[in-house]
Amino acid sequence: MPATPYKHLHDKNISSKKPTSCVVLAVVMACLTVLGIILAIAILERPSYSDKNDGEKILPLEPSIDSCSMAPVETIPLYMEYNDSATFGLPTQTVWEDLIAMATKQVDVVSFYWTLTGPDINVNSSSAIPGSHILTGLGSLPTRNVSVRVLISNPTVLTNSTDLKDLQQKGVQVREVEFGRLTHGVLHTKFWIVDRKHLFLGSPNMDWRALTQVKELGVVLHNCSTLAIDLEKIFNSYWEMGFPNSTLPDPWPSKYDTNITKSHPLLVEKDNITSQMYISGSPPLFCPQSRTPDIDAILTTISEAQHYVDVAVMEYLPMMQFEKPQTYWSVLDDAIRAAAFDRKVKIRMLVSCGRDSNPSVLSFLQSLAALDNHISHMSIKIKLFIVPVGNQTDIPYSRVNHNKYMVTDKAAYIGTSNWSGDYFTTTGGVGLVISQHAPHLIWKKSLQSQLRAVFERDWNSHFAIYLDELGHHPDCALGT
């Protein structure tokens, strides 16, 4: 080893008569250097546990053994005409019928309310026939030795429905969850779990109008046991709270915990497409601490977008609309404004307008749209989506775009909640977040790409109009 770098040591502290001390020191220094290199390599090669802003740690992902095929699911209301080149998700009716047909052991269904037959709402319409078929199919499952559990909110929408009584007579287990007593909200969740390996979630309630008269969007996943079992934990939490005089546990027992979160999503690889997924839940009172809250899932999806955020939702209201008095709730509104202003993310929002839409929606949307400014490089574009009523005027609470999803350049979110404060603080709901990667040539097969295509189809359709184009419209309560 060259002596030059250590010449000052000889000059000041080490006698020239003790050369071995210099050699020993040099050897020690060299060993420490080698050890530092080894440690650096070990650190670089170990699995990542980098901290996030919220203090959670990102755990190393192991690919799931599940195949998890997935597809968007849609209801396009009768008498809606798109152009010939438009693409669509799988029909809701077909997906539900297929799930019933493939069930061999267990089916769990949760819905805000049930009205699967026309007489439920005193309507005589041929468009109610598909709902009757679904009701019959579910009622036949116990004869095939398939266990069926059904959950519904209490309080719920007032109807004359006998659906659940009919199902109970056929061996289906039914429970009502008193969300009003437990959280001062409602159980707004809508999902299916079949044989603990197939699942469906999205905007459709168990309502015949969700099959023919209301525009809906959801997602179906087949052979996805890990995610289905995780969703079952949410179902079981509702089921447990369906007992009379139940009380919310604090904390929730460990059997409801999840290890699939926004910081540790489920990793699935299929057909050269890599998907990272997790299920979020609301309200916080109904979730163990390990479950990602639904509002956090939405905020994270928006905050991680780099180029665009496309939102399709029935109702957008930055307020606690079911509280007395109503109060302003800026959480989502702030996130959208920050994404557009701070990161110059392009925002597009497709908000439904029907005969029963809340007039308060318009002023909030106008406030957002006013920020669209090419000088400040902010892009927030908003359209109203109007489902034509036509000759279907005798069917109440229909002809509306009931979608609740978002797609960005980084992820997709499919939920069961409208975008207003109560849905994330007191109301039962779930969401599914999926982030996918695939080679360019097969990207169109990904769920993210298909959802973006659905959004583009609707955004560019003649059913979608900008706010300043509205004027008076007989099918939109927001019209002047």
Query: Which residues touch 24 (CB under 8 Å, ≥6 apart)?
Result: none
Does residue 279 contact residue 230 with C-beta atoms inside 8 Å?
yes
Q: Catalytic site residue 472?
A: no
pLDDT at site 210: 98
The backbone torsions φ and ψ at residue 385, rounded to the nearest 5 degrees and listed phi first, read: -110, 120
- Closest alpha carbon to 426 in 310, 327, 312, 300: 327
Say whether 188 is catalytic. yes
Span 361-382, average pLDDT: 95
Q: What is the mean pLDDT of the chain?
A: 88
> What are the residue ranges of helices labelled H in 223-286?
225-241
**Is 90 exceeded by the pLDDT of residue 273?**
yes
User: In angstroms, rounded to a whole number, what is the distance separating the alpha carbons of residues 260 and 266?
Assistant: 6
Tens digits of residue pLDDT in 59-103: 456 667 788 999 999 999 999 999 988 999 999 999 999 999 999
Mean pLDDT in residue range 140-164: 90
Q: Residue 39 — φ and ψ, nearest 5°? A: -65, -40
- pLDDT tens digits for 175-212? 999 999 999 999 999 999 999 999 999 999 999 999 99
* Distance, CA of 388 to CA of 404 (rounded, Å): 19
Q: Are 242 and 150 in contact (CB under 8 A)?
A: no
**What domains can you pick out in the chain, each with its CATH number?**
4-45 (no CATH), 69-469 (3.30.870.10)
Higher-confidence position of 42 and 317: 317
E-assigned strand segments in 357-475: 380-385, 404-408, 412-415, 419-420, 429-437, 464-466
Q: Is 399 left (phi over 0), alpha (psi -120 to 50) or beta?
A: left
Residues 6+ apart with CB under 8 A from 263: 52, 56, 57, 58, 59
Model pLDDT, residue 158: 66
Give the length of the chain: 480
Name the more confident of 120 and 303: 303
Confidence band, pLDDT 50/70/90 cuts, at residue 49: very low
Beta-bridge partner residues of 275 = 268, 436
pLDDT at 280: 98
CA distance linking residue 297 with residue 309, whole number of Å: 14
Largest pairwise CA distance in the chain: 111
**Closest residue by Cα to residue 449 from 55, 71, 169, 56:** 71
Rg (CA), the chain: 28
The answer, yes or no, to whether residue 14 has pLDDT greater than 50, is no
Answer yes or no: is pLDDT of 151 > 60: yes
pLDDT for 33? 47
Two structure tokens written together for 210: 């969700």
- Using alpha carbons, list the distances in angstroms from residue 189 to 58, 131, 462, 472: 28, 19, 31, 34
Which DSSP category does 48 fall into?
A: P
Considering only 158-167, 268-277, 385-394, which range has the smallest mean pLDDT? Answer: 158-167
Closest to 62 in 3D by CA, of 336, 362, 264, 287: 264
Which one is catalytic: 197, 262, 402, 410? 402
Contact between residue 353 and residue 465 where contact means Cβ atoms under 8 Å apart:
no
Reported as a single tens digit per residue, the pLDDT across 211-263 is 999 999 999 999 999 999 999 999 999 999 999 999 999 999 999 999 999 99
Confidence of residue 479 (pLDDT cuts 50, 70, 90): confident
- Confidence category of residue 159, pLDDT binned at 50, 70, 90: confident
Dihedral over Cα of 117, 121, 125, 130: its sign:
negative
Which residue in 108, 195, 333, 422 is the catalytic one?
195
Q: Is the per-residue pLDDT at 13 higher than 70?
A: no
Tokens of 119: 């007489």
Which residue in the list 66, 120, 163, 188 is annotated as catalytic? 188
Question: Any catalytic annotation for residue 190?
Answer: yes
Q: Is 195 a catalytic residue?
A: yes
pLDDT of residue 314: 98
Catalytic residue among 66, 108, 120, 190: 190
User: Looking at residue 24, what is its pLDDT?
Assistant: 39
pLDDT number for residue 160: 79
If pLDDT is split at 50, 70 and 90, which confidence band does 130 have? very high
Dihedral, CA of residue 233, residue 239, residue 241 and residue 245, to nearest 10: -160
pLDDT computed for residue 333 by the predictor: 98
> What whole-number distance in Å separates Cα of residue 116 and Cα of residue 113?
10
| Alpha carbon distance 89, 454 (integer Å) | 8
For 138, phi then psi, to 5°, come to -65, -40
Please state, for a pLDDT cut of 90, what percent of the chain lies above it: 81
* pLDDT for residue 178: 95
Enter the tokens of residue 165. 């009584």
Give one DSSP letter per residue of 322-387, joined into a string.
Answer: TSSS-EE--HHHHHHHHHHHHS--EEEEEEE--TT--THHHHHHHHHHTT-BTTTTB-EEEEEE--
* Prior bond of 251 cis (ω within 30°): yes
pLDDT digits (tens, 9 = 90+) for 284-327: 999 999 999 999 999 999 999 999 999 999 999 999 999 999 99
